[in-house]
Amino acid sequence: MAEESNTVRITNAQVYAELLEVKAIQIEAVTELRGMKNLPEKVSALEQEIARLKVIAGLAHAVFAAVLTGVVASVISLL
């Protein structure tokens, strides 16, 4: 019984094409990672901005409530 041998021939051109594809993927991955390098600082800055906007919104609500109370009090005093 003779053994069958299955051979696969890979050329240098095929290997080179695969290497180029891997290199392109690596370049893309490195680019994405560089963009994420300062992500914690950006998140921290956004959290601080959100906190500041919450304070401003709270003050605006307080002013609105005070004005509304004043208007209601004025209307009631005129009646």
Q: At 37, give phi and psi (nearest 5°).
A: -60, -40
Q: What local confidence, expressed as pLDDT, does residue 5 receive?
A: 72
Q: What local confidence, expressed as pLDDT, does residue 36 receive?
A: 83
Query: Over the stretch 35-79, which tens digit does the pLDDT of each residue have?
Result: 788 888 889 999 999 999 999 999 999 999 999 999 999 999 988
Better pLDDT: 5 or 51:
51
Q: What local confidence, expressed as pLDDT, does residue 1 receive?
A: 52
Query: Which residues lie closer than 8 Å to 39 by C-beta, 6 or more apart?
Result: none
Query: Over the stretch 8-39, which tens digit does the pLDDT of each residue have?
Result: 888 999 999 999 999 999 999 998 888 788 88
Residue 2: pLDDT band with limits 50, 70, 90: low
Strand intervals (E) in 1-79: none
Q: What is the largest CA-CA distance in the chain?
A: 114
CA contacts within 13 A on the Cβ side of 68: 6
CA distance 36 to 43: 11
